[in-house]
Structure 1
Amino acid sequence: MSGGSTTQKAVYSPLPQTISDTDSSEEELNSVLHSNNSFPVNRKLAVPGKDSAKNGQKMGEYRQLGHDGETDVSLNGLSNQESTMADDILIVKPEEPTLRGFQHMSPLRKLFFFGSVALCGVTVMVFLWVLPCDWATCPSAQGLRARSRSWERTLVGLELKGAISIVPGVLGRSRNLIFMLRGDVGNPSGSNTSRAGVESFPVDGGGIISLIGSTGVIAWWKRLSALPRDIDCSLLDVDNNGVDDCLVLGDKGLLLAIDPVSGAQRWQLRAASGKEADAPTDLDFPLVLPDLDDDGVSDLLTACSLPRQQRNSLVLVSGGSGVSLGRNVQVQACFRVHVLSIENLTVSYICQQGEKEAVREMELLDLYKQATNRMFPKAGTLAGAPSHQHKGYDGRPSVARSLTLSVGGRSLTLENSGRCPLHCRVAVNVTGQGGQLVWNHTAENAHGTVPVAMVFADRSGPVSGFVLKFWQWGARDDLGAHLVAHRLSERVVLIVFNSSDMRVVNTNQSDITQLCSCLDGREEDIDCQPNLSFQEQSLLFGDLDQDGSQKLISYLSTYVSRTQNNSVVWHLESKVRAIRLEAELPKLYEAFTKVV
């Protein structure tokens, strides 16, 4: 601007880095300002005088250069007149546009960038669709199978009974085991608490217990008001959560649904009227029906008896709530009734009249009308009954019983006769694919349990066969007070066929002590624990780790004597074993070549 300009813009000059804003820096500032006389400055930057006297050693007042009509001054050798030619600071703009994003990246960097993005996408797809393959055929499962181990668990103060159930577990693909049980007959006071963390169960009651399939650790247990007789965990999904619940049948009219994962009770059978006189007792294991009450859950049908009446009634039960649908339908022409099956909405049942038995039929819709006093509203749209029904074993003692099991074109026939432990006999015959006898076994004072079939693949080809238990009674001790201790041995026998030959192997042998009480001293009236009928279904094959390998699950119960205060005390124990039979079979196959 010209020298005659009346308005001057302020010019800011950075202070030297040696200047600080402390009270002791005024002398440094003055020395810097007066050190070089060739650079005149505005004295108003730091003017000692009245203000300085008042403020002490404070920094001078900062003001804009050239204001209040002062003449042009120089700053750092530059004319103030030249420094204030424009209001704005000049911004230098590049001649070419600035490179941004991918334009600034070299081809090599672009290659690595897109490669990393593609690698992330491939990783996500692998974890979503490649790794969750079929565990039985997944190549990576071969190395993980070695982690699956055999185990044994001892439960004190209880007797396991009935069939073994395999149910879903909490973690991933693991499976759990569910058993029925009853208390210790020799310790009815209930003071014998299990060391495994399970309280004692009353003799007249019982319960359910679940073990983790991979380790045998107790998952949960539940006491019941009556002794359980049968269980099935594959028929009914009460809450439609995708997991079938366990139906438990017991004495005293006990029928309830239990969550297999948590052990929580879903419902217990009760009469629609809520009256004790209408409560059904002495139940059969129910048949699964179509959904009759339109609650989205299949319903049930069972035979029963009413208090102080004959066992000749049929009752419909809601699968979602456990409440009976209507009243019990009594079949007047029959003394006893047992339900058999349902097909095409036609129910078949056994009608017992004196010593005679006959199979009769009844239409499901007619049964519904008699129970509810109304027609079924959606008869034309009613779906058929599920094909999968309970295949139970009643476990009732009998004088003679014959069972036949087939696998791979070979058959095993088991026949038990007499009454154990006093007078019984077992005979087993195994026939080959051509029907010829390939192995047989007979024994006195012995009993064979229900056999199970096995089929799996081996390096040399498919392997099939049978597994069963033999109970062989030996010595007996009279303990007084009509109490007898029977000594017996339990053998688990494996009959194996491969493409070339057959082997019979003793996989396990255990000693069992059975306590029996003779009522009124009569040997024909005995009650024993462990009870033979409870042990009939103590074998099962299953894939507990979902790794494609089969485990042989078995259990046994026995009394163990201990000395306390110079007296012998008997304690009941149950042992559960899970053996990786598929992995151990080659060792057993080579070690044992002797046929039993």
Structure 2
Amino acid sequence: MTNSMQGIYSPLPQSLSDSDSDKEISMEPICDNYRKKTAPVYRQNGHSIQIKDDIIKIKRGASKMSTTRKVAFVCSIILCFLPIIIFLWVLPCSELHTCPVKIKDWTYQQEDVELVGEIHLVDGLYKTNLNLAILYKGSYHSPKLLKHGVLSFIGTTGAVAWDFQQETEPHQMNCTVIDVDSNGNFDCLVVDDKGLKAIETVSGQALWHAHSAEEKKTVRDLSLPVAIPDLNNDGVDELLSVFERKSFLVLSGKTGRALAYIQVPGCVEISKLFLNVHLRYLCKNGTLYEVTIDAIQKFIADSRFKISPHKINYGINENVYMAGNMRLTVTNGEDCPKCRSIITLTDENNKLVKSWPFDNAYILDPKFLFFDSAKTKSDSSKGRVNGFIVKIWQWSERYRKLRPSARIHKRNVLMINVNETYFVREISERVALVMLNDTNNIINVSYTEISQICDGNSDNCQPSYANQKDSLLIADIDRDGSKELVSYYSTYLKKNDDWRLISYLKVLRLEEELPKLYGAKK
């Protein structure tokens, strides 16, 4: 057996041809009768090998798959294509930054600034959510040159999107007038002592500053403008602003360049400009005039055209807020903090329903609140979600004088002028929900203690109630159909002898908090 096995591995004689070697190497069975059970015998290199016990079976073609193997095979194919299907069709992210992000309650804290003015909704990088933009002014005695500006926050998280810093204190801002760069997003128009500028809401970059027709200098003493139709065929609407409180100035919406100067008849000083189908402007003496946009266009085309405004009845009362057939009136006294304020609720017949007086208080601008009862998730608030959210500042009787060594500002800058007298006043900020239902109650939402510093003149204080009038906003930030409450406040906090100005911005998912508010006691 040993010799026969060695024959298998014996080298091929060199005298054999290729054809001979093929014949020798090929294993041909001696017996062709496969039906017999005798073991087949194979021959190689003159040696015979007989397999007695092993049976070799050759099956041609594949065997039929079992049900389990079929299921496993189909599942493996599905798993291969499932990630592709999910990313292409399941996730709604066909464009960049369009994945929906659900908002959560958040609080942002910023030192050395006072948030002022209205809270604006602006477009940002994420297409499915809105961002917030707010003006701010720096702290007393801050050594920073660029201590004022505009802050933008990502609406769903509270992270800072951008911070536009400037030297002068901003006065007003509007982010719903014009799309300067035609990118589909409205840009913010900001007015300060140096004039008017346009800021892009995604990047926070200035697009232009209002300047003269010769482009040699910026134009100052402007008001917030209104948009009028495109006049120079550049594809962007133009802007009309009050110039030096007595005339109109038409600006290119695309570049900020002055296009036309219009002398306004019938008004010595203009206090307010707004657009209501036609252009309306309110004089300081209380007279309201109206001019058609067509007349403005004709004057720009031909300066010889005479603009003839006509007087209209002034029926605007900024202290009255309507909700259906109910009327909410806010009456604020003068000489705060020794002021008395009243919230009055009347019906459609001007009959008094209820009133709430407050001593040593100032009532900030209310915000109308309404939720469709069919869409409200909480059964306890269905049919009753109709009213106003209002913020009330109430001064305490106590105040204290700061020592000359006291320091105001986080960088420990001393108050050098010892002749200046600074006072600290304590304020209770109350956010309340005025419900318009069978009970017509006021429901407390929150209390906040605020420290206000005044420089001896009670009108020159920080934070100021005049800057906080529009510190509330009700909006759907993440565009999911539910409303959020946005609120901010500023206060001084004392750490040792150092007084630091800190501002807080908060976002609350209002509809989820409604059941808690209804359960609260007055």
TM more than 0.5: yes
Aligned to 1:301: 240
Q: Structure 1's 338 and 444: CA in aligned 2 closer, same or farther, altered over 3 A?
A: closer
Rounded Cα–Cα distance in structure 2 between residues aligned with 1:106 and 1:263: 64
Structure number with greater Rg is 1
Rounded Cα–Cα distance in structure 2 between residues aligned with 1:347 and 1:152: 40
Q: Secondary structure at the match of 2:253?
A: coil
Aligned to 1:473: 395
Identity rate, percent: 33
* Equivalent residue letter for 1:449: L
Q: Which of 246, 257, 268 matches 2:188?
A: 246
Q: Are residue 321 (structure 1) and residue 255 (structure 2) matched?
A: yes
Rounded Cα–Cα distance in structure 1 between residues aligned with 2:291 and 2:193: 27
Per-residue displacement from partner, 1:35-60 (whole Å, max 9, x unpaired)? Answer: xxxxxx97624xxxxxxxxxxxxxxx
Aligned to 1:459: 379
Aligned to 2:43: none
1:516 CA displacement: 1.1
Aligned to 2:411: none
Q: Structure 1's 174 and 365: CA in aligned 2 closer, same or farther, altered over 3 A?
A: closer
Q: Are residue 221 (structure 1) and residue 143 (structure 2) matched?
A: no
Aligned to 1:136: none
Equivalence map 1:82-481=2 (5 Å): 148-185=103-140, 187-190=141-144, 201-202=146-147, 206-253=148-195, 255-276=196-217, 279-305=218-244, 311-325=245-259, 327-331=260-264, 334-337=267-270, 340-342=273-275, 347-350=279-282, 357=287, 359=289, 361=291, 363-369=295-301, 403-421=319-337, 423-432=338-347, 436-456=351-371, 457=376, 458-460=378-380, 461-462=382-383, 463-474=385-396, 475-479=398-402, 481=420
Contact 2:226 2:241 in 1 (8 A): yes
TM-score, normalised to structure 2, is: 0.73
Equivalence map 1:44-83=2 (5 Å): 44-45=15-16, 64=18, 75=24
Unaligned runs of 5+ in 1: 1-15, 20-27, 34-40, 46-62, 67-72, 79-98, 134-140, 191-199, 306-310, 375-392, 394-400
Q: Are residue 534 (structure 1) and residue 467 (structure 2) matched?
A: yes
Rounded Cα–Cα distance in structure 2 between residues aligned with 1:570 and 1:170: 36
Aligned to 2:494: 561
TM-score, normalised to structure 1, is: 0.65
Q: Secondary structure at the match of 2:215?
A: coil
Aligned to 1:37: none
Q: Secondary structure at the match of 1:239?
A: coil
Q: Secondary structure at the match of 1:149?
A: coil
Q: Structure 1's 112 and 332: CA in aligned 2 closer, same or farther, altered over 3 A?
A: same
Rounded Cα–Cα distance in structure 2 between residues aligned with 1:349 and 1:74: 112
Per-residue displacement from partner, 1:140-161 (whole Å, max 9, x unpaired)? Answer: x9xx97xx43222211000000
Aligned to 1:580: 509
RMSD: 4.1
Per-residue displacement from partner, 1:429-484 (whole Å, max 9, x unpaired)? Answer: 12357765333111222100000011113425231111111111111212262222
* Equivalent residue letter for 2:334: G
Unaligned runs of 5+ in 2: 28-60, 94-99, 306-315, 405-419
* Equivalent residue letter for 2:170: P
The total of aligned residue pairs comes to 443
Rounded Cα–Cα distance in structure 1 between residues aligned with 2:290 and 2:432: 41
Q: Secondary structure at the match of 1:367?
A: helix
Per-residue displacement from partner, 1:199-225 (whole Å, max 9, x unpaired)? Answer: x853xxx20001222222222111123
